[in-house]
Amino acid sequence: MQGRMLQRPAESDPTADVPCESVDVAIADVRQFIDPLLEEAVNALDLAPQRLRESIRYALLAPGKRLRPALTLWASDACGGDRQAAAAGAMAVEMIHAYSLVHDDLPAMDDDDLRRGRPTCHRAFDEATAILCGDALQPLAFATLVRHLPPDTAGRACGILASAAGAEALVGGQAEDLAAEQATAETDAANTSPESQLARLEQIHRCKTGALFLACLRLGGLTAGASSEQLQALEIYGAAFGLAFQIADDLLDAEGTEETVGKRVGKDAARGKLTFPSLVGIDASRARAHALAAEAEHACQIFGTRGKPLAALASWIVHRNH
């Protein structure tokens, strides 16, 4: 018995719906598609306590870019898939991402007060509710895959997402990030070579940030029935894109403003946290980000015109100011 497919209005050629010349417009299109589905998922939690449900809504439907759903949908499009089939994966990765932000912002972690231009979840509600909100979003992500995908596909999708969100990837990356910050605070890093520090930093970001980006692409490829060659291209794209994104994020923290970025900036330097700019400087960081973006764009050539949204996104991610 197959899972219940999400029902949205039928669409024409998916690449026609993604205006590659304007990534901001394309991302807005993704948000218009995915937000009603996320809203639907929250509304279905009618037996959950009201305060918990409202915190989930607050975190999941915050005014973000929906970058991870975009990667999932556009990876499916690039491989000739159907956006309806990829929707469950797009929803699930956004749920995992939302949970990770809620927990990362907690006082015991990054201790942030502002996220996406609004008070963080633990500030808008309270710490206990924020923890429970993140706890609830995790199983909701896997339930979404199981409910809306055929059993065999759902099982493989759950495996992909579990690996990306687990102790060897997203959670492990956060643990290493906190450990590296503590080591820097205790000046242990003074006895470590810059090369070793950079290698450790790249590994942290490939786990904490890059693993979920890769999961987005893998889920899109899975639901599209991608070939091994297409999956390999998505892997190359994802590895380069994830690191480029994080370097760009570090640059925004170093150079951006709270108004444009939507969260507190300059906090990494204030806490002595390892970042690409602090290790190699602004110019070298920017050059590395652009080289990685070019690598990601090159990987899209196999997809022809269907890969243009992914290629445009790679370029956009290193030029953004928010």
CATH number for the domain harbouring residue 72:
1.10.600.10
Q: Kindly tell me the sign of the dihedral angle through the C-alpha atoms of 106, 112, 117, 123.
A: positive
pTM of the model: 0.89
Q: What confidence tens digit (pLDDT) does each residue in 75-109 have?
A: 999 999 999 999 999 999 999 999 999 999 999 99
DSSP letter (8 states) at residue 188:
G
Which residue(s) pair with 118 in the sheet?
Answer: 115
Within a domain: 13: no
Picking from 83, 87, 34, 35, the residue whose alpha carbon sits closest to that of residue 61 is 35
The pLDDT of residue 18 is above 70: no
Q: What is the mean pLDDT of residues 174-187?
A: 77
Identify the pLDDT of residue 265.
Answer: 56
Residue burial 160-170, b: 16+ Cβ < 10 Å; e: rest: bbebbbeeebb
Identify the pLDDT of residue 9.
Answer: 38
Within a domain: 322: no
Q: What confidence tens digit (pLDDT) does each residue in 257-281 have?
A: 555 554 555 566 566 678 899 889 9
The pLDDT of residue 72 is above 60: yes
Q: What is the mean pLDDT of residues 205-212?
A: 95
The pLDDT of residue 206 is above 90: yes
Within a domain: 184: yes
CA dist 79 and 57 (Å) reads: 32
Picking from 197, 202, 215, 192, the residue whose alpha carbon sits closest to that of residue 67 is 215
Within a domain: 33: yes
Picking from 11, 192, 184, 172, the residue whose alpha carbon sits closest to that of residue 87 is 11
Identify the pLDDT of residue 197.
Answer: 87
Identify the pLDDT of residue 186.
Answer: 56
Picking from 89, 90, 229, the residue whose alpha carbon sits closest to that of residue 159 is 89
Instruction: Please report, for residues 54, 74, 227, 250, the alpha-carbon distance to residue 316 in angstroms, rounded to integers and kept in the order given.
Output: 33, 15, 27, 16
Identify the pLDDT of residue 274.
Answer: 80
Is pLDDT larger for residue 230 or for residue 6? 230
Q: What is the mean pLDDT of residues 24-40?
A: 95
- Structural domain harbouring 91: 19-317
Total count of domains within the chain = 1
Within a domain: 8: no
DSSP string, 103-133: HHTSTTTT--SEETTEE-HHHHS-HHHHHHH
Identify the pLDDT of residue 160.
Answer: 98
The tokens for 57 are: 């809504």
Picking from 40, 34, 38, the residue whose alpha carbon sits closest to that of residue 99 is 38
Identify the pLDDT of residue 87.
Answer: 98
Q: What is the mean pLDDT of residues 63-77?
A: 96
> If pLDDT is split at 50, 70 and 90, which confidence band does 17 have?
very low
Identify the pLDDT of residue 253.
Answer: 87
Average confidence score pLDDT of the chain: 88
Within a domain: 6: no
> If pLDDT is split at 50, 70 and 90, which confidence band does 33 have?
very high
